[in-house]
Structure 1
Amino acid sequence: MTVWGEQLNPESVWQEYPRPQMQREEWMNLNGLWEYSVLPKTDAGPAEFDGEILVPFCIESALSGVGRRVSPEERLWYRRTVDVSRDWKDNAVLLHFGAVDYECTVWVNGGLAGHHRGGNTPFFFDVSAFLIDGENELLVSVWDPTSSEDQPRGKQDLFPHNIWYTPVTGIWQTVWLEPVAKENSIEELRITPDVDASSVEVQVIGRVPPSRWRDCVQVSVFDGDVKIAETRGHIDDSLILPLVSPELWSPDAPKLYDLRVELFSGQGDSRESLDHARSYFAMRKISMAPDGDGVQVLLNNEPLFQYGTLDQGWWPDGLLTPPSEDALRWDVDFLKAAGFNMVRKHIKIEPQAFYAHCDRIGMLVWQDMPSGFIQASEIDLEKRCTVQHVPEGGQKDVLMRSRSAIAFDAELREMIASLYNYPCIAVWVPLNEGWGQHEVAHKTQLIRSLDSTRLVSSTSGWEDRDIGDLYDIHNYWEETLIPEPRKDRAVVVGEFGGLGYAVHGHLWWDRNWGYQSYENVEELVAQYQKRLSRILFGIREKSLQAAVYTQTTDVEGEINGLVTYDRKVIKIAEERLRALHEELYAPESVCL
């Protein structure tokens, strides 16, 4: 167990505001102890409950207080009561879930509030019509087939082994209530910086009845306490705010600007404020440009080599859920101190506090879509050390059932919509190593239609399709392969390393796994330096633009992290790693 898990107070679990990019003052946190029951999937519902579960930790986790599996033939039920503030009686009340794995149905006081399918993205229901004065009953039903079906699930498996992990069932991110105006409210902000034009575009998406279409929105930009720009318009307008000599965001100087948005009607003394929200943004640009024989990846029109870790975000006590916000931030702070400027968030979507922290400290993020549609038994781990190329239309792609492909696209859309405003995100990665790889061209086009401001690594590793912005290979051999430069795409090593070092007393299983394993820290460091020398060679000679080392922490049976799974032992000190990494950002210096 981690130190944060050991110190956990069930009465104060995940207390920070869960939506950093659109904050309101009023909300109610529903994390804490709920009742739970596990029943056969076909049962109508529990007559009584089995005990208490600590939300937002999944039932399989130690921190949930339960620690049991739920099979695909079973259904997990949650119940709690809540006394909604009487001050909210004239408002619409939204019930938010950060993430629930996988199919979730919600009742409020016996009335069906809604149904959501997808285990990785936030959703909400307007529950106003079901609320009463006094105690209100919330009932949540969850079914999760995990690896018996083909939904996006990352590395969860009903039979964990090697690189496949414990299943996660049910609520695993914050549950909360929010009051908003019944007819006139801000629903979403879409913030797009334009570095070249020194401006920011803000679209305020809201709920306004036709009779109130002339109601106005006011958008203000603040640098600290100083207002530096302001404009007005209407709901759904694209509002452009020019900025004078704005400071740009980068890993070395992560400058953020505050944003305040107000929906109002009338003017002067008759002006009425209908809704308001706070947000923030950064002036930063992700792009590419030709460079000799290859293609460069640029940040703010300047080349920047991106070096990060494969970051899976698993925890021994909370599984997919970090034990606290401080725990979540610790991982990113460690990587920053160790001299990484990027993290590849691997087939997991984090609580939004993760991305807000990356914004604040200057950590670029490559965001994977959680993969699915493949049985763990179908993966040949030796194959992970190779590079393949199959043209688009080849026979290797999964033939997807239409409902599964639609479900994948729906979660992909939800992921991009929920994370669009976070400046740290530089690259979208829809497909990893052929795991459930399907319709690559369609996925690439879909992402670009949703977000044209970031790069797309259409297939990270294995079967490349000559599509997307990055030629992204994975290679775990000792002599890390560096591909030749390409005229059409930037070359990156999306995974390499995977050096195993078991720290006894800090292992999940007695039987562990790594690509290559070593017996002491000095041997580990020597092998790490050897692989870094190949990356440095790629920067100088092959126009290599980025690399991702596997991995941040040990995870269950994997012992190839820079830190143990419980975060109690750092295998290579931050200062030592930082010194080794400095040369990657100054490739004109001598070789390692």
Structure 2
Amino acid sequence: YNLIRKHMKTEPKRFYYWCDKMGLLVWQDMPAIWYQHEDTARARSTFRNEWKAIMDDLYNSPSIIAWVPFNENWGAFDVKEITDWTKQYDPSRLVNGNSGFNNNPHYQKAYGDPGNGDFVDTHIYIGPNKASVPDEKRAASLGEFGGVGLFVRGHMWPVENNAYAYEPTKEALTNRYILLMDQVEQLMRYKGLSVAIYTQTTDVEHEVNGLLTYDRAVEKMELQKIREVNQAVISAGETLNQKNNPNSKITGQR
């Protein structure tokens, strides 16, 4: 992988140090205010203060390339304003204002697509078909997709586990993943998709759709094959980028 999304949490500094050292890019979420009945003036003020504190704390980690203040409308408020503020406060990074709802034609309420930020982003399970397409100012991204599960008894969270779809064996799950990544490459080549983030690296509480089990003891896919297909997609993206932007250069930032 060349990118990981830190979803609904931050990590200790050592995590970002290793991302910096390894060259692993990071999308960094703000943990959500979950319940709408907590939407008070005090909660909003706390959200703004803590979001600024997170950005200040992690500013010097070059692996972080994008800030994500909201996800799928969870606890959302003043989305357009906060997206603009985030971009103004740190213009050196990309901003995904409301991940998953930046391209939802059926959700045009106050906290749907803010129309700003740097991504036309959607979440599709299992996907990746019908992913976003870029608009005049924003790149197309698939902020979540996949989520295919495999039960490994003795290595799961002990209470009720789910996934968006299931495969019966490690081999079948690996083949399903390869098919999905082949589809991602086609969307990248012919529909302008720039980002695709697979759910997820490990099983978590109530979810069995990771590459590793909840206790990190079992590899649920054939990781060498996963690495090979990932590298093929990354290489194809680099080739496309060079073809479409022959004069582009990567420069450092002080």
Q: TM-score range by the shorter chain?
A: 0.7 to 0.9
Task: Check conservation: 2:84, 2:116, Cα contact below 8 A.
Answer: no
Q: Structure 2: which 5+ runs fail to align?
A: 102-111, 240-254
Distance 2:234 2:164 in 1: 27
Provide the residue aligned with 1:370 in structure 2: 31
Greater Rg, structure 1 or structure 2? Answer: 1
**TM-score of the superposed pair, with normalisation by structure 2:** 0.85
Q: CA deviation at 1:510?
A: 4.8
Task: Check conservation: 1:492, 1:545, Cα contact below 8 A.
Answer: yes
Provide the residue aligned with 2:215 in structure 1: 566
Residue 91 (structure 2) pairs with residue 452 (structure 1): yes
Task: Check conservation: 1:518, 1:524, Cα contact below 8 A.
Answer: yes
Provide the residue aligned with 1:493 in structure 2: 142
Residue 36 (structure 2) pairs with residue 405 (structure 1): no
1:481-560 map, 5 Å: 481-560=130-209
C-alpha distance 374-503 of structure 1, shift in aligned 2 (>3 A): same
Q: How many residues align?
A: 228
**TM-score of the superposed pair, with normalisation by structure 1:** 0.37
- 1:457-503 Cα deviation digits (max 9, x unpaired): 00100332212111111000355322233111000000000010011
Say which of 578, 583, 590 aligns to 2:227: 578
Say which of 17, 22, 29 aligns to 1:361: 22
Task: Check conservation: 1:513, 1:559, Cα contact below 8 A.
Answer: yes
- Say which SS state the counterpart of residue 67 (structure 2) adopts: strand
Task: Check conservation: 1:430, 1:457, Cα contact below 8 A.
Answer: yes
User: 1 or 2, which has the higher strand percentage?
Assistant: 1
Residue 8 (structure 2) pairs with residue 347 (structure 1): yes
C-alpha distance 472-368 of structure 1, shift in aligned 2 (>3 A): same
Task: Check conservation: 1:399, 1:438, Cα contact below 8 A.
Answer: no
C-alpha distance 577-479 of structure 1, shift in aligned 2 (>3 A): closer
Say which of 35, 41, 63 aligns to 1:424: 63
User: 1 or 2, which has the higher helix percentage?
Assistant: 2
Distance 1:472 1:442 in 2: 18
Provide the residue aligned with 1:476 in structure 2: 125
CA RMSD of aligned residues (A): 1.8
Task: Check conservation: 1:482, 1:534, Cα contact below 8 A.
Answer: no
Distance 1:373 1:579 in 2: 38
Q: Structure 1: which 5+ runs fail to align?
A: 1-339, 376-397
Provide the residue aligned with 1:143 in structure 2: none
Runs of 4+ in 1 over 4 A off after TM superposition: none
Provide the residue aligned with 1:465 in structure 2: 114
Q: CA deviation at 1:445?
A: 2.1
Q: Which amino acid aligns with 1:407?
A: T
Q: Which amino acid aligns with 2:78?
A: E
- Say which SS state the counterpart of residue 155 (structure 2) adopts: coil
C-alpha distance 465-366 of structure 1, shift in aligned 2 (>3 A): same
| Percent of aligned positions that are identical | 39
Task: Check conservation: 2:126, 2:147, Cα contact below 8 A.
Answer: no
Residue 50 (structure 2) pairs with residue 415 (structure 1): no
Q: Which amino acid aligns with 1:351?
A: P
1:77-226 map, 5 Å: none
- Say which SS state the counterpart of residue 511 (structure 1) adopts: coil
Distance 1:520 1:478 in 2: 20
Task: Check conservation: 1:480, 1:496, Cα contact below 8 A.
Answer: no
